[in-house]
Amino acid sequence: MHTEPRVVLQNGFEGFLLLESESPDEGSDFYSVKLTEVSRSGLQFRSQRPIPTDRNFSLTFITNTGSLEIVVTGNTRWTKQDSAGTLTGCALSAPMPESVLQEAISPDQNISPAANCRRSTERIAGFLDLDGFWAPATLKNYSSGGFCLETHHVLEPATQLCFVVEAPQRVNIFAHVEWRMTNAAGGYILGCSYQDSNDASHLDTAHQHATTALSLTNTP
């Protein structure tokens, strides 16, 4: 049976939890938490206050260096009380790419990049169509399950977007933002899941077109 790697964080990451209310008439609740364990599909964190189970949440946590901010969404599954407070286990809405885990954890806790993550040699430039608002974006990598974009426009997890590329004709890739983290350039990396699984083939076409165009440009 396959068991995904789990990383126990020795010092933990401080985080900010936004817990959705069960009633539409009530506002969301906020918790300060410390992330203690993380895997691709779930995580654990500690809090001083008890946290209800089976509730949807958005969690923002920052690495020890303060240089990396990651936002994920999920559902609280279980809690356990002990002398240190409350330990809560959660399932993520979408698997966290292992490349993101590598960014988040210390270098000595090595996790190999996902095998199905196809990284293009030449990044593909495009733009986001956000209900008539246009924002430049660049495809960083993609796989059969989703893709990563780099942009200076901030989008929250669960936001719907349309990534537009020329492949060589215009192609619209509709997706949902699953997670977000900041990059060294002051912009954002967005992890997205397809609304239509066939859109992965459109990105294949765009990548092949970009590679062919580069080859022709470099031909003497």
Topology alike, domains 7-104 and 124-218: yes
The end-to-end CA distance of the chain, in Å, is: 53
| Mean pLDDT score across all residues of the chain | 76
Residue 56's Cβ-count burial label (10 Å; 0-12, 13-18, 19+) is middle
Mean pLDDT of 197-209: 77
Q: Can you tell me the mean pLDDT for 76-82? A: 92
Residue % of the chain over a pLDDT of 90: 16
Q: Is the pLDDT of residue 167 over 70?
A: no
Measured CA to CA, the distance from residue 27 to residue 25 in angstroms comes to 7
- Position 45 confidence tier, pLDDT thresholds 50, 70, 90: very high
- Comparing CA positions, the residue from 180, 192, 186, 129 lying closest to residue 155 is 180
More confident residue, 143 or 53: 53
Inform me whether the pLDDT recorded for 128 exceeds 90: yes
Tokens for 83, please give them. 């002398």
In the chain, where are the structural domains located? 7-104, 124-218
The CATH superfamily label for domain 124-218 reads predicted glycosyltransferase like domains (2.40.10.220)
**Higher pLDDT pick, 4 / 201:** 201
Q: What is the CATH number of domain 7-104?
A: 2.40.10.220
